Amino acid sequence: MTHTAANTDTAMSYLNLLKDIAIAANEAATSRDALVASLRSVCETTRWPVGHVLLSTASCQLESAQIWHVADDAGLGQGFDVFRTETEARSFSAGEGLPGRVLANGSPAWIADADKDCNYVRRDLARNANLTSSFAFPIHIGTEVVAVLEFFAIERRPPSAELLDVMTHVGVQLGRVFERQAADNAIAAHNRRNQQILDSAGDAFIGMDANGRVTAWNRAAEDVFGWPRTAILGRSLTETIVAEQYRGAHAQGLKRFLDTEVPRVLGQHLELPAIHQDGHEFPIEITLWSLRTDNQWSFYAFARDITARKAAERDLKHRALHDTLTGLPNRALLSDRLAQQLARRDIGRLGLAVLFIDLDHFKRVNDSFGHEAGDQVLNEVADRLQRCLRPADTAGRLSGDEFLVICPEVSKPRDAVIIAQRLLAELISPIRLKDDSVFLSASIGVAFAEADSDPDSLIGAADIAMYEAKSSGRAHYELFDQRMQIQVASRLRIESELRNALDQGQLRLHFQPIVSATDASVVALEALLRWQHPQRGLLLPGEFMHIAEETGLIVPIGAWVLEEACRQARHWALEHRADLPLWVSVNLSGRQLAQADLVAMVERTLASAAIDPSRIQFGLEITETVVMRDPEAAAETLRALRQLGVHLSIDDFGTGYSSLSYLKRFPIDTVKVDLSFVTGIAEDKSDQAIVDAVTRLAHVLGLSVVAEGVETQAQAEALARIGVDYLQGYRYARPQAPEHIGNMLRASSLDPSQ
Ligand code: C2E
Ligand code: MG
Ligand code: MG
């Protein structure tokens, strides 16, 4: 081979080398692959048996990239492995050793003989490896050296300008690879950072292209929808996460937008159902927006799983409409249901009934077993009500021990009655508590919807009927009728008028004398309440007393009666007969007897009236039935009143339990035999026997006896024969305004026959 031919060959092979490197630079997936391929090409073309790549680090040093090329037939010394290991283990600063020199100067360098080079830091290692010559060249990006390639040969090789020239070109080619890699790295880093930002977002981030394919999917989206990123990218969004019933609308919406570019849902905040990868449906909140780049639309959304929020909302709503204890619908929901059913019902065909249920004496359960037991009982009642009902019926709790049942499909009153009876029967069986059984009953009011019924009036009507059931003995049902309505209305009117009566001075006290059975002289005066009604005239207690009792108005009214009676008593004590003693008595209601401060109030009133007890005594009358409601407590109160010097009478004796034996347990002065025994006393043997027995026993116990309602002389004579002490009745005097009493006190006898 001639010198020229050899030169031409070399030139050709260098050209091929540059071509190979250009290919490697273009085709290699990474810069590392390009380096491996290029290193081999250089070694093979130039016949330098060993090649090595070093990369520059962030701290401007060179470190082995651990890319080597070692020719098979290199004939290296035994020390090569050590040379290689040591080279890989160290780094080269600028100017240090062969690579350091290339790094510092940015240009190739050549060492023909390692032994002779004073700057050859790996000299001993190289000698042991049989390496004599070496050269190295840099790879640049701009002016920066990013890598250095070094080559070694066993024999001594003089520097070749031609070779170094070619290597400069190789360096430039590979520089492009590094440049491209750096750009790719920057993009990858950018994308990674974007993904990281998206992944760190609490909301699911979803991207979709104009074909409806998923293009972006962050970690939260994986969590929310269950689809891993890799599994969903490229798939149709409609077929993966859009709920079945929205798929059509979703596809159409996308098409319409692409056609018209008029957004409908874009930019909005929506709540929709979505599908999880496992197939379950759940609610999401989603915000959508679109982006146009390079004439292409893409769509993005932030979505959030709102299952918990929806559940909380549902829970709140449920709580607002249900009773917390029993879980039954509350008043608000019952009213609402009733309104709906009233609006929907076919009045001609099917009626609607409302049952108002109130437990009888429920307070006693709370008082004797505690509130926990009370709650348990209410829950049991709720269960039983529900058990009795048909699917269309609704049971709810209004308050305390009041329940309501709405029956929308009753064709006649009889049907509702059957339901009421079933409820009563169900409630009557004992309720088991921990150690006890509670026996309950209920009072039920039933009302039927009329054409113009509204929920409130219908519930009100059932309430009125329930009240009627209560006041007529409890433990049964009553059907509402118009008469009840009228009664209730009049009750309500009387109640409101009665509230004013006291303030407006419409109340009066009349007094009826009680006379001695022997000479008809006045021994006592009973105060009887009257209401001077502005329109209806003088009203007797029978017309308003029960309302005063039920509403509690009796308490202030009773206090007024007491004061007024005391005032009158004091007046008479000062003005009249020298031979009083006389007692003036006032009727006490059950409500007053149960009042905790009754004794203190009586004491205060008596003290402020300052009546001389040696001239006039103060008295109280309590009916037999009231005393027997709670005999123990009554006995205690009566004892305290007696200590205040109050004259105590048992009123209407014989109408209640008629137990003579209990008389001795009460510290009383007088028994007033009820007028029902007096009316027939002249003829009726059994009345005579009863009054006789009462009188005898009373006398044994040291009590005096008054007969009420004496109207005729025959009655008066029969009573006198029996030995009754005192008489009261129209025969002697009707109840009178106080101004008429003075004359009677002055008269020695009220006997009309004298
Ligand atoms: P009471 O205490 O048994 O009073 C006697 C009632 O019999 C009075 O009715 C009286 O007018 C009536 N009476 C008296 N003599 C005769 C008679 O010869 N024949 C007939 N048929 N009746 C006679 P009144 O005044 O209508 O009072 C009714 C009831 O109202 C009283 O019965 C008493 O329980 C209650 N009452 C009256 N005033 C008060 C009051 O200030 N406070 C309370 N808590 N109750 C009162
Ligand atoms: Mg009385
Ligand atoms: Mg009486």
Most ligand 1 atoms within 8 A of CB, residue of 514, 528, 531, 546 to mutate: 528
Q: What is the pLDDT of residues 227-247, one digit of tens each?
A: 999 999 999 998 999 988 888
State the distance from the centre of ligand 2 to the C-alpha of 610, rounded, in angstroms. Answer: 24
200-207: long-range contacts, CB 8 A cutoff, minimum separation 24: 201/302, 202/304, 203/302, 203/303, 203/304, 204/284, 204/301, 204/302, 204/303, 204/304, 204/305, 205/300, 205/301, 205/302, 206/237, 206/241, 206/300, 206/301, 206/302, 206/303, 207/298, 207/299, 207/300
Share of the chain above pLDDT 70, in %: 97
Q: What would you report as the CA-atom Rg of the chain, rounded to the nearest whole angstrom? A: 56
Question: Considering only CA atoms, which residue is closest to atom 13 of ligand 1?
Answer: 709
Q: What pLDDT shows up at residue 657?
A: 64
Would you place residue 646 in the very low, low, confident or very high pLDDT band (cuts 50, 70, 90)? very high
Å from CA of 709 to ligand 1 middle: 9
Mean pLDDT of 431-435: 85
Q: State in Å: Cα 462 to ligand 3 middle.
A: 35
How much distance in Å is there from the Cα of 526 to the middle of ligand 2? 7
pLDDT per residue as tens digits for the range 508-556: 999 999 999 999 999 999 999 999 999 999 999 999 999 999 889 999 9
Position 183 pLDDT exceeds 80: yes
Dihedral (Cα; 333, 335, 340, 345), 10-degree rounding: 130
Most confident of 216-225, 662-671, 725-734: 725-734
Kindly identify the ligand whose nearest atom is closest to the C-alpha of 527.
Answer: 1
Residue 347 has pLDDT above 60, yes or no: no
pLDDT at 46 over 50: yes
**The one-letter amino acid at 450:** E
- Rounded-to-integer distance, Cα 517 and Cα 727, Å: 6
Cα 236 to chain centroid distance, Å, stands at 41
What CATH number should be reported for the domain whose range is 322-480? 3.30.70.270
- b/e for 325-337, b at 16 or more Cβ within 10 A? ebebbbbebbbeb
**Quick check: do 3-186 and 201-309 share a fold?**
yes
pLDDT at 411: 81
User: Which atom of ligand 1 lies closest to the CA of 540?
Assistant: 26
CA distance 318 to 321: 5
Tens of pLDDT, residues 47-83: 999 999 999 998 889 999 999 999 988 788 788 999 9
Ligand 1 pocket: which of 587, 653, 727 to mutate (most atoms <8 Å of CB)? 587
Mean pLDDT along residues 180-187: 84
How far does residue 379's CA lie from ligand 1's centre (Å)?
Answer: 46
Closest atom of ligand 1 to CA, residue 509: 41
pLDDT band (50, 70, 90) for residue 1: very low
* Spatial CA neighbour of 447 closest among 356, 343, 320, 321: 356
Q: Per residue in 93-104, pLDDT tens?
A: 999 989 999 999
Q: Which ligand is nearest to the CA of 565?
A: 1
Q: In the CATH hierarchy, which top-level class contains the domain 502-746?
A: alpha beta
The ligand placed nearest to the CA atom of residue 514 is: 1
Closest ligand 1 atom to the C-alpha of 711? Answer: 18
Q: What is the pLDDT of residues 710-753, one digit of tens each?
A: 999 999 999 999 999 999 999 999 999 999 998 888 888 888 88
- Please indicate whether residue 671 or residue 294 has the higher confidence score (pLDDT): 671
Whether the Cβ atoms of residue 526 and residue 728 lie closer than 8 Å to each other: yes
Global confidence as pTM: 0.54
Q: Which ligand is nearest to the CA of 649?
A: 2
Name which of 254-268, 352-366, 485-499 the model is least confident about. Answer: 254-268
Over residues 3-38, the pLDDT tens digits come to 555 677 778 888 888 888 888 888 888 888 889 999
* Residue nearest to ligand 1 atom 28, measured at CA: 541
Region 201-309: CATH code: 3.30.450.20
- At residue 120, the pLDDT reads 78
218 and 300 Cβ atoms separated by less than 8 Å: no
Tell me which DSSP letter residue 430 carries: P
Point out the ligand nearest to the CA of residue 563: 1
Look up residue 362 and give its two tokens.
């429920």
Q: What is the average per-residue pLDDT within 200-213?
A: 89
How far does the centroid of ligand 1 lie from the alpha carbon of residue 467, in Å? 27
Tell me the CA–centroid distance for residue 641 and ligand 3, in Å.
20
Query: In a mutational test of the pocket of ligand 1, which residue from 653, 708, 726 has the highest number of ligand atoms less than 8 Å from its CB?
Result: 708
Output the pLDDT for position 643: 94
Residue 61, both tokens: 């040093």
- CATH code at 3-186: 3.30.450.40
Please give the pLDDT value at position 7: 73
Summarize pLDDT for 258-298 with one digit per residue, the tens.
Answer: 888 887 777 778 898 999 999 999 999 998 888 888 888 88
Residues with Cβ within 6 A of ligand 1?
A: 512, 528-529, 540-542, 545, 558, 561, 587-589, 621, 651-652, 675, 708-711, 728-730, 735
Contacts of residue 495, Cβ cutoff 8 Å, sequence gap at least 6? 547, 551, 553
Nearest CA to ligand 1 atom 12: 709
Query: Residue 382 C-alpha to ligand 1 middle, in angstroms?
Result: 45
Residue nearest to atom 35 of ligand 1 (CA): 541
- pLDDT recorded at residue 438: 87
pLDDT, tens digit, 9 for 90 and up, residues 391-420? 889 999 999 999 999 998 888 888 888 999
pLDDT tens sequence across 142-159? 888 999 999 999 999 999
For the chain, give every domain's residue range.
3-186, 201-309, 322-480, 502-746
- Residue 66, SS3 per DSSP: strand
Q: Residue of the nearest CA to atom 46 in ligand 1?
A: 587
Q: Tell me how far the alpha carbon of residue 527 lies from the centroid of ligand 2, in angstroms.
A: 8
H or E, element range at 620: strand 616-623
Q: How far is the CA of 676 from the centre of ligand 3 (A)?
A: 10
Instruction: Give the distance (Å) from ligand 1 centre to CA of residue 486.
Output: 27
User: Mean of the per-residue pLDDT values for the chain?
Assistant: 89
Nearest ligand atom owner, CA of 729: 1
